[in-house]
Amino acid sequence: MENVNLNELRNRAYKTACEHGFHDTELSNEHFICLVISELMEAVETDRRGKQPNVMQFERGISYPMNDFKKVYDYCIKGTVAEELSDAVIRLLDLAGLRNLNLNRFALVNVVSKKKTFTENIYAIVKDIMNYKYSLEEQVNYAITQVFVLADMLGIDLFWYIEQKMRYNELRENKHGKRY
List of residues 6+ apart from 49 with CB closer than 8 A: 79
pLDDT in tens, 128-158: 999 888 899 999 999 999 999 999 999 999 9
- The distance between the two most distant Cα atoms of the chain, rounded to a whole number of Å, is 52
What mean pLDDT comes out for the span 1-20? 88
The whole-number pLDDT of residue 162 equals: 97
Instruction: Please report how many Cα atoms fall inside a 13 Å half-sphere around the Cα of residue 123, on the Cβ side.
Output: 5
Average pLDDT, the chain: 93
Is this model's pTM higher than 0.85 or not? Answer: yes
**One-letter identity of residue 73:** Y
Helix axes 6-19, 81-98, angle to 10 degrees: 90
The whole-number pLDDT of residue 136 equals: 94
Helix axes 81-98, 136-153, angle to 10 degrees: 160
The yes-or-no verdict on residue 106 having pLDDT over 80 is no
Q: Residue 101 — left, alpha, or beta (φ > 0 → left; ψ -120 to 50 → alpha)?
A: beta
What mean pLDDT comes out for the span 34-45? 98
For the chain, percent helix, then strand, then coil, each to nearest 5? 65, 0, 35
